[in-house]
């Protein structure tokens, strides 16, 4: 027993004193290898009597476990030391640091925030709706008749079960009207999806939809608020005009143009030499839509509009390729 203890003490000292892995392995073999000190001693037990053999065997096995533990710890310590030494040698501490860049909001998020800032200041409530939508909300309740060619105006992504990725933010109007009593004014922003991809179209983009329902609301309110919004957004006085247009959920429907902010109406490539830029769709909510939402069209009237956020951002920041917004190149994004 005494000699076993002093053997262990010696081994411990030797292990602790080591500072290279090769030496450690040599030492391990010396103690624990097939022909190692401990193994040999274990073999020598044969000559002992039954009782003594059992007691000594147990001690030897415990000693072996200790040794194994020390060797593992020592190996870990030496490996860490080696790694540290290696890393320190490879790092040139005299090199200038990489610096800490500060992040910021994506230009689309910033644009959305400005749109919301305006309409919230006019008392519009912010509503939300699902991106995976039912045909009813995306089309039917918005007065797109079934099998009507107007559904083909928007190339829709369908799911097998008949649901779809909403093609516009207008379905939120319906969901809002179903759950609120007029008068109200609300806005809903978010992602919308269409099967489309080129310099001015993305399969996923953002829209803000607005809706105002009240007593005696007419086109004059619509014109006034949208005119004011665009002046706020583009930070300057702008000319605007409303062109008659067709959207199934409004009557009359219109598209709003603003004087080209690039050429100030003189005519350039961006406005196809017309001096005007198309900026949004709008109109007076169709009585069929009000009826579907159990809002009495004889009592209430209102307007709706839908504006593309990427389009606003492209004009505001003067960007000529919409795809830049979703490619996430930091050299592009850093500019905002």
Among positions 18-77, residues that touch ligand DAH (CB under 6 A) are none
DSSP characters over 253-295 = EEEEEEE-TTTTTS--TTTTTSSEEEEEEEEEEPHHHHHHTT-
Structure tokens, 252: 């009359």
Which one among 225, 230, 295, 304 touches ligand DAH, defined by CB under 6 A?
Answer: 304
Q: Classify strands 125-127 and 184-193 as parallel, antiparallel or unpaired.
A: parallel
Report residue 48: phi and psi, to 5°.
-85, 160
CB of 253 to ligand DAH, least distance (A): 6
Contact 206, 309 (CB under 8 A): yes
Nearer to ligand DAH, 107 or 281 (CB): 281
Residue 174 interacting with ligand DAH (CB under 6 A): no
What residues contact residue 244 under an 8 Å CB cut-off, 6+ apart?
252, 253, 254
CB of 210 to ligand DAH, least distance (A): 7
Nearer to ligand DAH, 11 or 207 (CB): 207
CB of 209 to ligand DAH, least distance (A): 6
Neighbours of 140 (CB within 10 A): 15
CB of 332 to ligand DAH, least distance (A): 26
- Inter-residue long-range contacts of 287-291, CB under 8 Å, 24+ positions, other chains counted: 287/251, 288/143, 289/141, 289/142, 289/143, 289/173, 289/174, 289/249, 290/177, 290/213
Could you tell me how many residues of this chain bind ligand DAH (CB under 6 A)? 12
Q: With residue 126 as reference, give the H or E element that holds it.
A: strand 125-127
Structure tokens, 299: 């009592």
CB of 267 to ligand DAH, least distance (A): 26
Contact 260, 271 (CB under 8 A): yes
Among positions 83-122, residues that touch ligand DAH (CB under 6 A) are none
Tokens 């995306």 found at: 138
Nearer to ligand DAH, 193 or 305 (CB): 305
Contact letters (x/-) for ligand DAH, 182-211, by CB under 6 A? Answer: ---------------------------x--
Which one among 247, 276, 300, 325 touches ligand DAH, defined by CB under 6 A?
Answer: 247
CB of 122 to ligand DAH, least distance (A): 16
10 Å CB burial of residue 153 (0-12, 13-18, 19+) is middle
Q: What angle do CA 107, 110, 112 make, to 5 degrees?
A: 110
- CA dist., res. 206 & res. 168, Å (int): 9
Nearer to ligand DAH, 170 or 259 (CB): 170
Which one among 138, 143, 170, 301 touches ligand DAH, defined by CB under 6 A?
Answer: 170
Nearer to ligand DAH, 67 or 174 (CB): 174
Nearer to ligand DAH, 31 or 303 (CB): 303
Contact letters (x/-) for ligand DAH, 272-301, by CB under 6 A? Answer: ---------xxx------------------
Which one among 305, 310, 311, 325 touches ligand DAH, defined by CB under 6 A?
Answer: 305
What residues contact residue 208 under an 8 Å CB cut-off, 6+ apart?
112, 115, 116, 119, 169, 187, 188, 189, 306, 307, 309
Among positions 208-227, residues that touch ligand DAH (CB under 6 A) are 209
CB of 91 to ligand DAH, least distance (A): 55
What residue ranges bind ligand DAH (CB under 6 A)?
Answer: 168, 170, 209, 247, 250, 253, 281-283, 304-306
């Amino acid at each position: 027993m005494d000699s076993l203890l002093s053997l262990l003490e010696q081994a411990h000292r030797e292990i602790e004193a080591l500072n290279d892995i090769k030496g450690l392995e040599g030492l391990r073999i010396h103690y624990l290898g097939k022909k190692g000190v401990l193994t040999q001693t274990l073999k020598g037990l044969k000559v002992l009597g039954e009782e003594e053999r059992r007691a000594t065997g147990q001690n030897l096995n415990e000693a072996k476990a200790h040794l194994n533990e020390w060797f593992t710890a020592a190996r870990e310590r030496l490996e860490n030391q080696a790694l540290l030494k290696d890393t320190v040698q490879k790092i040139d501490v005299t090199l200038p640091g990489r610096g800490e860049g500060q992040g910021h909001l994506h230009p689309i998020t910033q644009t959305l925030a400005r749109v919301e800032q305006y309409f919230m200041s006019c008392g519009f409530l912010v509503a939300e709706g699902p991106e995976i939508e039912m045909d009813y909300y995306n089309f039917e309740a918005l007065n797109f008749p079934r099998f009507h060619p107007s559904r083909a105006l928007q190339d829709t992504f369908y799911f097998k079960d008949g649901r779809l990725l909403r093609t516009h933010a207008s379905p939120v109007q319906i969901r809002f009207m179903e759950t609120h009593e007029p008068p109200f004014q609300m806005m809903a922003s978010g992602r919308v999806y269409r099967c489309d991809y080129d310099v001015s179209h993305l399969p996923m983009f953002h829209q803000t939809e607005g809706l105002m329902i009240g007593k005696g609301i007419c086109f004059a309110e619509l014109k006034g608020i949208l005119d004011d919004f665009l002046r706020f957004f583009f930070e300057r006085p702008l000319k605007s005009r409303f062109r008659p247009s067709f959207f199934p959920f409004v009557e009359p429907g219109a598209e709003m143009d603003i004087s080209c902010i690039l050429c100030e109406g003189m005519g350039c490539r961006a406005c196809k030499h017309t001096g005007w830029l198309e900026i949004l769709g709008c109109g007076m909510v169709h009585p069929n839509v009000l009826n579907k939402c159990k809002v009495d069209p004889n009592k209430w009237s209102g307007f709706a509009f839908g504006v593309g956020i990427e389009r606003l951002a492209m004009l505001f920041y003067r960007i000529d390729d919409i795809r830049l917004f979703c490619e996430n190149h930091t050299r592009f994004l850093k500019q905002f």
